[in-house]
Structure 1
């Protein structure tokens, strides 16, 4: 009997341990599966970013090759590395290379500025013009043309940048006036008010100085024509600092997306993040707009494409915007240069004509990604 009881009692513990072991195995399997999915997603996003960078490099090389002056491909490649002082070498090194570099930097600046603005304001329709920065740059150019008689790009690029900086400071001061902090809603309202006032100022200046209107119109449409090293070098430091500052905000922006209270609980500082973001947007958008004029659509649409490809994680949205926006701008500039030689169509027009239908198709296929 003792022997029998002992034998019958033995299955009990093993029966109890069975479900536990099964549960543990299921949990481990689920963890491994989730880790595998996350790894595959990371690899896919990384591969997509590499492909986008390859497309940008290809278009940049094509931008150096194509133009109103036909230069054979092999000659272009040779002159790219070994300038011989010929007319073709001058065209490549003095005109096409700086123009391509400026297009890449302006596109990257506008893409990052748009992504930052949409993340900070949690507004999917935000673009670099929402906080009055673009209109501030326009006012600087209008003042330079009407009162100072400055008609060169290098002359009014500094006033355009100063106007963008002043407008951003005014918007933030209005958005943070009173006892409350500068919330996204208050910043958007302040930006709309400043934009409306500056638009009226610009219109009045152009009406009182008809001679300056033609030059202002050429700048207002957004163009890379005539922008070479003399324009690239002055704005390069501002763009570089703005790009670095924007990329450093990737993780803080993810914390801010959960709300101010939860963000603080995670160790984030919402006010500091917004101030740093506003400074980065001013540097990026101000320098880009000052250099080539206001170019619409890029800062609005590219972050949506980035979220469509990589999801809402800002650690991927910002790098994708950094690569996709210059890809769009360099491609648009290339199309504008070769579509009707020897004349060219300004890049601001091409981005709107080519990009808007793509953006509308994206909106119809899928709702705008949540922020």
Structure 2
């Protein structure tokens, strides 16, 4: 299938995105332990009554959760697409390359040594942790022979991520804050407030603007540094901007709801299969598909063991782990082009 013939799905995805988002939000608000009918949801939006318990549940709990799932799904999916394009590594994603674990590790340190930090400061430190995790993984990869190959880099990322995660658990246990920290390792979508959601938007917008600004160049960069240089690009600067975008997007996502794996691995591959390899369209399409995917995964997590909730990480892992093994089996150690 050539690129021209993929114009139709691109248009369909973009035009249907408002419907997909609204449908996902309404479904997320509708489904929960407490049954709330559609008429009540309508009243909560247009005739809000602070004294109505159902209205309060919708506006203070279910709506922020639905919006947060879409936002975080979009951020993680775009981060994964950027990392895969920048490194030419089809296994690259925030959860595998140490970005998410680095963020959660620094948040753990903040919870222990600076528990009074504001939410905005926590987002900034989360970004710092994302940079730390990525720096350690790619640093080790560059020191080892063939360390930047897809499978080896994935192994290094998994090892470093496990180490940071274990170190975080040990620190949290020693300082008796394990319960607080556990929220960042098990996704706390149910605890997301509208105030925190609104606070995170400016940070996310910066990451999105950076991602869109390099989208066209990433298409060329994914062909290799030599090709990129021959076409007049400056790969080092381009990679720095791309990594900065990943740090903003992933750091914001982790600070909002904690670690959620495999979204950044699975969705970019799915998107490229649908729309092609032009990152000008891959980036926005990945954001749309990633947001809807995580929103629906959150709904599914409530239905799998109803009326109890299954951690959303279980849902994403059930899809992500088989796909991860499939990529290793079918692609071996090759980089994508």
TM-score under structure 1 length normalisation: 0.76
- Selected match of 1:68 from 8, 17, 33: 33
Residue 302 (structure 2) pairs with residue 353 (structure 1): no
> Which residues in structure 2 correspond to 1:160-179 (within 5 Å)?
160-168=126-134
Question: Distance between the aligned counterparts of 2:210 and 2:5, measured in 1?
Answer: 29
> Which residues in structure 2 correspond to 1:217-228 (within 5 Å)?
217-228=182-193
In the alignment of these two chains, the number of paired residues is 329
How far does the alpha carbon of each residue in 1:206-234 deviate from its partner, in whole angstroms, 9 at most, with x for none?
A: 4533x222332332122301111232133
| SS across alignment from 2:75 | helix
Distance 1:313 1:155, change over 3 A: closer
1:135 deviation in Å?
Answer: 1.8
Question: Distance between the aligned counterparts of 2:325 and 2:138, measured in 1?
Answer: 35
1:77 deviation in Å?
Answer: 2.1
Which residue of structure 2 lines up, in the alignment, with residue 250 of structure 1? Answer: 215
Residue 112 (structure 2) pairs with residue 112 (structure 1): no
Which residue of structure 2 lines up, in the alignment, with residue 95 of structure 1? Answer: 61
Which residue of structure 2 lines up, in the alignment, with residue 4 of structure 1? Answer: none
Residue 309 (structure 2) pairs with residue 344 (structure 1): yes
Which residue of structure 1 lines up, in the alignment, with residue 10 of structure 2? Answer: 45
> Which residues in structure 2 correspond to 1:10-49 (within 5 Å)?
40-49=5-14
| SS across alignment from 1:71 | coil
Question: Distance between the aligned counterparts of 1:275 and 1:235, measured in 2?
Answer: 22
Q: Please say if residues 64 and 96 of structure 1, whose CA atoms lie closer than 8 Å, have aligned partners that are also in contact.
A: yes
Q: Please say if residues 91 and 154 of structure 2, whose CA atoms lie closer than 8 Å, have aligned partners that are also in contact.
A: no
- Selected match of 2:270 from 301, 305, 309: 305
Distance 1:152 1:247, change over 3 A: closer
1:325 deviation in Å?
Answer: 0.8
Higher relative contact order (Cα pairs below 8 Å, separated by 6+ residues): 2
Larger CA Rg, structure 1 vs 2: 1
Distance 1:257 1:39, change over 3 A: closer
Distance 1:205 1:321, change over 3 A: same
How far does the alpha carbon of each residue in 1:1-28 deviate from its partner, in whole angstroms, 9 at most, with x for none?
A: xxxxxxxxxxxxxxxxxxxxxxxxxxxx
Which residue of structure 2 lines up, in the alignment, with residue 80 of structure 1? Answer: 45
TM-score under structure 2 length normalisation: 0.82
Question: Distance between the aligned counterparts of 1:355 and 1:184, measured in 2?
Answer: 22
Q: Please say if residues 95 and 260 of structure 2, whose CA atoms lie closer than 8 Å, have aligned partners that are also in contact.
A: no
